[in-house]
Chain A
Amino acid sequence: MSFYILKRLLVAIPVLLFLIVFTFVLMYAAPGSPFASERGIPPAVLANLQAQYGLDQPFHIQIWRYLVALVTEFDFGPSFIYRDQDVNSLIAQGFPVTLTYGFWSFVVAVLVGGALGILAAVRHNTWLDYLAVGVSIGAQVLPNFVLAPILVLTFTLWLGWLPGGGWQGGQWQFVVLPVIALSTSYMASIARIARASMLEVLTSNYIRTARAKGLPARRVILRHALKPALLPVISYLGPAFVGMITGSVVIDIYFSTGGIGQFFVASALNRDYGVMMGITILLGALTILFNLLVDVLYAWIDPKIRY
Chain B
Amino acid sequence: MFATKSVADDLATAPLKGRSLWADARARFFHNRAAVTGLIVLIAVACFAIMGPFIAPWNNEDIDWNVLGNVQTGGRPSLETGHWFGTDALGRDLFARTVQGTQISLLVGIVGALISVIVGTLYGAVAGYFGGRIDNVMMRVVDVLMSIPYMFVLILLLVVFGRSLFMLFVGIGLVSWLDMARIARGQTLTLKGKAYIEAARATGVRPFTIILRHIIPNLLGVVIVYATLLVPSMIIYESFISFLGLGVQEPLTSWGALINDGAAEMTNGTLWMLTWPLLFFVITLFGFFFVGDGLRDALDPKDR
Query: A283–B153 Cα gap in the complex (Å)?
Result: 11
Write the nearest CB–CB distance from B290 to chain A, whole angstroms.
9
Provide the A265-295 mask, 1 if CB < 8 A to any CB of B, else 0: 1001101000010011001100110010000
Interface residues of A (CB under 8 A from B): 11, 15, 18-19, 22-23, 26-27, 29-31, 137, 140-143, 145-146, 148-150, 152-153, 157, 238, 242, 245-246, 249-250, 253-254, 264-265, 268-269, 271, 276, 279-280, 283-284, 287-288, 291
**B156–A280 CB distance below 8 A:** yes
What separation, in Å, do the CA atoms of A19 and B153 have in the docked complex?
9
Top 5 A-B pairs, shortest CB-CB distance: A149-B263, A141-B285, A246-B151, A30-B160, A145-B243
Which residues of B are in contact with A by a Cβ distance under 8 Å? 140, 144, 147-149, 151-153, 155-160, 232, 236, 239-240, 243-246, 256, 259-260, 262-263, 266-267, 271, 274, 278, 281-282, 285-286, 289
List of A residues within 8 angstroms of B239 by Cβ: 143, 145-146
Q: Which residues from chain B contact A283 at a C-beta distance below 8 Å?
A: 149, 152
Q: Flag if A287 contacts B289 (CB, 8 Å).
A: no
Main secondary structure of the interface of B (DSSP, over half): helix
On whether A140 and B285 interact (CB within 8 A), knowing A15-B144, A145-B260, the answer reads: yes
A27 touches B160 (CB 8 A): yes
Nearest CB in chain B to that of A281: its residue: B152
Q: Using Cβ atoms and an 8 Å threshold, which residues of chain A touch B289?
A: 137, 140-141
**Minimal Cβ-Cβ distance residue in B for A285:** B149
B41 CB to nearest chain A CB (Å): 12
Q: Tell which of B149, B244, B260 touches A242, judged by Cβ atoms closer than 8 Å.
A: B149
7 A-B residue pairs with CB within 8 Å: A140-B289, A141-B232, A146-B239, A149-B263, A149-B274, A264-B152, A280-B156
Interface residue from A18, A27, A149, A284 paired with B149 (Cβ < 8 Å): A284
Verify A18–B144 contact, CB threshold 8 A: yes
Please name all residues of chain A whose beta carbon is closer than 8 Å to the beta carbon of B151 when the two chains form the complex: 246, 249
Q: Is the CB of A141 within 8 A of B282?
A: yes
Option from B148, B153, B259, B266 in Cβ contact (under 8 Å) with A153: B266
Q: Which residues of B contact A268 (CB under 8 A)?
A: 155-156, 158-159, 244, 246
With A143-B239, A145-B240 already in contact, the answer to whether A26 and B160 are too (CB < 8 A) is yes
CA–CA, A128 to B10, complex, Å?
Answer: 33
* Cβ contacts under 8 Å, A245 to chain B: 149
Residues of B within 8 A of A22 (CB): 153
Rounded to whole Å, the gap between the CB of A107 and the closest CB of chain B is 21
Supply 19 further A-B pairs (C-beta < 8 A) apart from A145-B240, A268-B244, A280-B153.
A15-B147, A15-B148, A137-B286, A143-B236, A145-B243, A146-B282, A149-B262, A149-B274, A249-B244, A250-B244, A254-B263, A268-B246, A269-B159, A271-B159, A280-B149, A280-B156, A284-B149, A284-B152, A287-B147
Partner of A280, one of B152, B240, B244, B274: B152
Task: Point out the residue from B149, B155, B259, B285 that lies within 8 Å of A145, measured CB to CB.
Answer: B259
Closest to B278 in A: A146
Complex contact B148–A149 (CB within 8 A): no
Q: Which single residue of chain B is at the shortest CB-CB distance from A289?
A: B147
B151, B158, B245, B267: which has the most chain A beta carbons within 10 Å?
B151
Which residues of A lie under 8 Å from residue B148 when comparing CB positions?
Answer: 15, 19, 284, 287
B266 contact set on A, CB distance < 8 A: 149, 152-153, 157
Which residues on the B side are within 8 Å of A30 (C-beta)?
Answer: 159-160
Q: Give the chain A neighbours of B274 by CB distance below 8 A.
A: 149, 153
Could you tell me if A288 and B147 are in contact, using CB atoms closer than 8 angstroms? Answer: yes
Residues of A within 8 A of B278 (CB): 146, 150
Inter-subunit contact A246/B152 (CB<8 Å)? yes
Question: Contacts of A242 on B, CB cut-off 8 Å?
Answer: 149
Given known A-B contacts A246-B152, A280-B153, A287-B149, A157 and B244 have beta carbons under 8 A apart: no
Q: Within the assembled complex, what's the spacing in Å between the Cα atoms of A284 and B147?
A: 8
How far is B263's CA from A142's CA once the two chains are assembled, in angstroms? 14
Cβ contacts under 8 Å, A254 to chain B: 263
Chain A residues closer than 8 Å to B236, beta-carbon distance = 143
Measured in the bound complex, the distance between the Cα atoms of B246 and A271 in whole Å is 12
Q: Please indicate which of the listed interface residues A15, A149, A279 has the most CB atoms of chain B within 10 Å of its own CB.
A: A149
